[in-house]
Chain A
Amino acid sequence: KQEVTQIPAALSVPEGENLVLNCSFTDSAIYNLQWFRQDPGKGLTSLLLIQSSQREQTSGRLNASLDKSSGRSTLYIAASQPGDSATYLCAVRIMGFQKLVFGTGTRLLVSP
C-alpha cells in the first residue's frame, strides 16, 4: 500500500527565506508526482507535476525534484513571500492506477 509522508508538518519562516518541503513515498512504482497548494477552506491549486521519467520541474520561484529510486521529492521555494502561506500537498499517482495518494501536508506560514 502506497503511503505518502510530508515533513515538516508545519513551518514558519520570515519573509525572504529559501525553504524546502519534503515528500516521501513508500512504493517507487509511480506514474507521476504532483505538488499542490491549498489555501484555508479552498480547493487545490496544482503547482508542479513531475512525470516518473523526469528529475525536476520549475515554475517561477518553485522547483520540484524527484528521486524515484529513493522515494523522495522536494519542493524548493525561493525568496518566500507572505502570499506563499498555505498548505502544500504532494500526491503520487500509482503506476497502473488513476487515483492519487495524497501526503499529509505541510502548513507554511511566511511572516512579513
Chain B
Amino acid sequence: GAVVSQHPSRVICKSGTSVKIECRSLDFQATTMFWYRQFPKQSLMLMATSNEGSKATYEQGVEKDKFLINHASLTLSTLTVTSAHPEDSSFYICSARSGGATDTQYFGPGTRLTVL
C-alpha cells in the first residue's frame, strides 16, 4: 500500500524558535497533501490543504503566517511552525491524496512537537 512518511517523529524546541516538519509520499505522487493537528485525547482538526505548486488553503482560525506550508514537489510538503510557543505543542499529522481510481488519503505517522 501507499506509504507516507513524516520527519521528524518528535521534536522539542525552545519558545520563539521555528520548526520544520516534512511530509513525503514515498511510492506515489500526491498533488494534494493535508495537514492536521491533534490535541491530547481529541480528534484530528484540518489545518490546511496543500496543492503542489500553489498556495495552501487554510481552514478558518488557522494563522497562515504562523504555520507556513510549502508543497514544492509531488512527493514533499513541509509545515513550518514559526516563532513557536507552548500552546503550539501538539501532534501534527499529514496525509497525501493518491488520486486516480482509489482517490484516497494516506496518513503519515505524525510528529510530536513540544515547545518549552
Contacts and interface: CB of A to CB of B under 8 A. Distances in A.
Partners in one complex: yes
Interface of A: 34, 36, 41-44, 46, 49, 89, 91, 98-105, 107
A86 to B, nearest CB: 13
A43 B49 contact: no
Given A89-B43, A98-B49, A100-B95, 20 more contacts: A36-B107, A41-B91, A41-B112, A42-B110, A43-B108, A43-B109, A43-B110, A44-B44, A44-B107, A46-B106, A91-B44, A98-B97, A99-B34, A99-B46, A99-B49, A100-B34, A100-B46, A100-B105, A104-B43, A107-B41
Most B CB within 10 A of own CB, among A36, A42, A43:
A43
Contacts of A100: 34, 46, 95, 105
A43 B109 CA distance: 4
Interface in B26-52: 32, 34, 41-46, 49
B43 A49 contact: no
B109 A42 contact: yes
Interface in B62-116: 91, 93, 95, 97, 104-110, 112
Interface residues of B, number: 22
Contacts of B104: 34, 46, 49
Contact of A43 (B32, B41, B42, B93): B93
Contacts of B93: 43-44
28 contacts: A34-B104, A41-B91, A42-B109, A43-B6, A43-B93, A43-B108, A43-B110, A44-B44, A44-B93, A44-B107, A46-B106, A46-B107, A89-B43, A89-B44, A91-B44, A98-B34, A98-B49, A98-B97, A100-B46, A100-B105, A101-B46, A102-B43, A102-B44, A102-B45, A103-B43, A104-B42, A105-B42, A107-B41
Contacts of A44: 44, 93, 107
Most B CB within 10 A of own CB, among A36, A42, A99:
A99
Nearest to A103: B43
Given A44-B107, A46-B104, A98 B32 contact: yes
